[in-house]
Amino acid sequence: MATSDDSGKFKGNIGNLTYRIINGIAIIQTRPGPGTVKQTVQTKAASVDFALGSNRAKILREILFPMIRGMQDNKMVNRLNAAVGEVIRSNTSLAAGYRDLEDGDLQLLDGFEFNRHSPFSKMFKAKLQLSQNYLEGIKISMDAFHVKESITFPEMASGCTLRVLLAAVSLAHNEYQYCGTAELDIPANTEDVPAIEWSFIHGLPENCLFIASCSLEFYENGLFDSASLNNKLLHPVALIGLMQGLDFEEQDPLPEDLSSNWNTWLPISGINGNKLRRS
């Protein structure tokens, strides 16, 4: 819709015409119709990277929902899209439009925070690290720490539970699986926690990207049970790291009672990001 100012000059749009004031002069232009703006090869390729980054970030959010649980900050989606896009663009050996998340510098995502209201790195200062070995599988290690110096407990908290989750994603096949989890209960009156190493060695998939994340859940003890204190403003959760998997030595399969819940490939919902890439 076009409007006129006190001098009778129009600004805005009428149909396919747009009215503008440039240096005090009224200009009337024809607006380009659908499909009339031509993209260069470079802008088309850049748009592929941008769309693919948003798709891959969405996949990470879907996989990590059991850890995030909808308690992220309001700007997390845009921050993760930007961070994943940066990883994709970090690969300069492949042309724009041909590269993917697993081709870039995955360390750029180390420590990504899903809730800036309660950053994991500020509330839990002990170091967590992701590593892998051909014979021993995937490991998540934690340094020893003094509780009062390393954990910031909110008021009323009786303790917290540290959770780690290892997942795998096959971007080529548009599917993912959960490989294992671990928990550590830390009462607030604990003095020291020794170094710990969690190993995941059974049924690990090949040719995939491993994703390790961590979270803190604070709780208050009641007469009969404990209640979680976490909410939208208090939910520390972050990425430990992403890592392209090795071809591990064949391991024993999981026990039958666990195989239905873990190490089962699940389809990624929504648009298949592989259709965006150039072949």
Residue reference for tokens 């407990």: 153
The pLDDT of residue 271: 76
Contacts with 270 (C-beta within 8 Å, 6 or more apart), sequence order: 58
Q: Is 2's pLDDT higher than 60? A: no
The pLDDT of residue 244: 94
Contacts with 170 (C-beta within 8 Å, 6 or more apart), sequence order: 176, 205, 207, 208, 209, 265
**Confidence band of 213 (pLDDT split at 50, 70, 90):** very high
pTM attached to this predicted model: 0.81
pLDDT digits (tens, 9 = 90+) for 163-187: 999 999 999 999 999 999 999 999 9
Q: Is 269's pLDDT higher than 90? A: no
Segment holding 82, helix H or strand E: helix 76-89
- The region of weakest confidence among 9-23, 51-65, 68-82, 218-232 is 9-23
pLDDT digits (tens, 9 = 90+) for 83-100: 999 999 999 999 988 999
Locate the domains of the chain by residue range: 1-38, 41-275
Task: Work out the end-to-end distance of the chain between its first and last CA atoms, rounded to an integer number of angstroms.
Answer: 43
Sign of the C-alpha dihedral computed for residues 198, 199, 202 and 203 taken in this order: positive
DSSP class of residue 53? H
9 against 180, higher pLDDT: 180
Give the mean pLDDT of 70-81: 98
In one-letter notation, the amino acid at residue 105 is D
The pLDDT of residue 201: 87
Could you give the percent of the chain with pLDDT greater than 70?
79
| Rounded-to-integer distance, Cα 108 and Cα 245, Å | 17
